[in-house]
Structure 1
Amino acid sequence: MSAASRGLIPRVRLLSFGPTTTTVISSSHRFRRFSAQSINVENDYEIDSGSPKIIRAKPVVMTPDSKRTGAIAVKCGMTAVWDKWGARVPITVLWLDENIVSQLKMIEKEGITALQVGCGQKKAKHLTNPEVGHFRAQGVPLKRKLREFPVTEDAILPVGTPITVRHFVPGQYVDVSGITRGKGFQGGMKRWGFAGMPASHGASLSHRSIGSTGQRDAPGKVFKGKKMPGRMGGKQCTVKNVWVYKIDPARNLMWVRGQVPGAEGNFVFIKDAVYKKPDISLLPFPTYFAPQDEDASELEPLVADLGEIDPFMAGD
């Protein structure tokens, strides 16, 4: 059953600007209150009762060596926009479905510094007992998808911190990872772009064949890794330098220009670009903290400044 048939895409179309129902997740030793619009995060989060290190949910200064967490999004499909030069540009819409920090991983305990981010919603009957126990032990709602993002020590966030679309800035570049569309067993021409055999003379029923692969008597074998027919697609793929065109804080939607792997309804993972690094002075670090008096449903979409040179045509 595809993700679209489970109701992810209809939920995007039915997003309303009104408040949503508050859900209370309880455990044997603590209670936390969560909602789709606002999540109460403790100002001081103590990692361990025996450790003096305290994590605070507040903005700090980002350094060139700092590494922020990423986010999980649902690929909603493609649309098109017209820039101020009159060109039609294809755009992919991504939906950050209630991302929150679901677990901390520290050097003292796990040996790494990372944040586990959860996305979406799921019922307890659709999860295994270890998965339900994990969410209840952390005191967070049940999530459909989890992803771990390595971060630096200055980018650690308390459990329960929301990661909204304001985590990214219009105009920056991001890297998007996901599972590509599975195309089944394909031949060499479709899978690798081979030219095939002659289409007119000298080829009988072998027009799409890949040709010889054994190099005659020397060495007389097919080397490992030879490009041949086989299973195509369905693998992890990372598309680098995807440009963020617009974000909509009211609906947690993001418009990006560039290839996004996977089919409509699949989960993709977004993080800051490695090669085209964004300006650290413009990024909210370690993430965007909304003011208490801010109403996300009344915020207007933020569009990237196109400047004097068309960024959509600059790469061409």
Structure 2
Amino acid sequence: MSGMLGRKIGMTQVFDQAGNSIPCTIIQAEPNVVVQVKMAEGKDGYDAVQLGFGTRKPKHTTKALLGHFVKAGVPPLRVLREFRDFVLDVKPGDEVRLEQLFAEGELIDVVGVSKGRGFQGVVKRHGFGGVGSRTHGQHNRERAPGSIGASSFPSHVFKGRRMAGRMGNKRVKVKNLRVVRLFPEHHLILVQGAVPGPVNGIVELYKKAQ
């Protein structure tokens, strides 16, 4: 799907004509730079457009990436992403702007990396209720997971059992978010609802296939 990169700014609310409050996420999507165009007929084997977002100092860029940027004739960029089946006819060095892809009222998909919560127990991670109140001298069972399987048979814990572990810091896609407002002069897009990730986190905006 066609799309572009942006940065999550925060949340706000707008009001419709009936006076209803619509919670919105503000995303700053400055013009993305086309770094590479891949063709199915060539050695790549598939059609895709690689876009770059954000600036990066040359001294903080590897020589391999510097050569990649020099070949495209663009300055070093912080984030690179590929978008397949791109609807615009572009070439390396071109800019992809917000208003070229999106319009108010349409539905888009947004991908971000969720906030990392570290190692968490089952109560916070999966919403367990805990074993219950303290009884018979127990003092550390309120937030325990309880039984995790049989003993002698099958003598192992089944894969996928909900247990304690790392929470968050995963790639999350939220589908069908409505574009509420576009501010092309400020490179801002307001989408209805929440978007995964922290403030200033990088997000990917995907245009729905027509």
Report 1:77-96 matches (<5 A). 77-96=10-29
Cα deviation code 1:8-54 (max 9, x no counterpart):
xxxxxxxxxxxxxxxxxxxxxxxxxxxxxxxxxxxxxxxxxxxxxxx
Report 1:1-316 matches (<5 A). 67=1, 69-107=2-40, 108-151=42-85, 155-166=88-99, 167-199=101-133, 201=135, 204-273=139-208, 280=210
Check the 8 A contact 1:115/1:156 in 2, yes or no: no
Determine what percentage of the aligned residue pairs are the same residue.
38
| TM-score, normalised by the number of residues in structure 1 | 0.62
- Give the CA deviation at 1:82: 2.0
**Which structure ranks higher in relative contact order (CA pairs < 8 Å, sequence separation ≥ 6)?**
2
Check the 8 A contact 1:114/1:156 in 2, yes or no: no
Distance 1:141 1:248 in 2: 26
| TM-score, normalised by the number of residues in structure 2 | 0.92
Cα deviation code 1:194-236 (max 9, x no counterpart):
1211136565321111101022332232112211000001111
Counterpart AA for 1:241: N
- Give the CA deviation at 1:84: 2.1
Check the 8 A contact 1:170/1:246 in 2, yes or no: yes
Distance 2:9 2:48 in 1: 28
- Give the CA deviation at 1:99: 0.7
- Give the CA deviation at 1:98: 2.5
Distance 2:182 2:197 in 1: 21
Query: Where does the alignment leave 5 or more consecutive residues of structure 2 unmatched?
Result: none
User: SS at the partner of 2:77?
Assistant: coil
- Give the CA deviation at 1:270: 0.7
Structure with more strand by fraction = 2
Check the 8 A contact 2:134/2:141 in 1, yes or no: no
Cα deviation code 1:113-165 (max 9, x no counterpart):
1000111222211211111111111112221111001116x644212221111
Distance 1:248 1:128 in 2: 35
User: SS at the partner of 1:250?
Assistant: helix
Counterpart AA for 1:80: Q
Distance 1:129 1:165 in 2: 31
- What is the CA RMSD across the aligned residues, in angstroms? 1.7
- Give the CA deviation at 1:87: 2.3
User: SS at the partner of 1:120?
Assistant: strand
Distance 2:177 2:125 in 1: 24
Check the 8 A contact 1:98/1:120 in 2, yes or no: no
- Give the CA deviation at 1:85: 2.1
Query: Where does the alignment leave 5 or more consecutive residues of structure 1 unmatched?
Result: 1-66, 281-316
Cα deviation code 1:234-281 (max 9, x no counterpart):
1111111111100101011000112211100110001123xxx5xx5x
- Give the CA deviation at 1:97: 2.2
Q: Number of paired residues?
A: 207
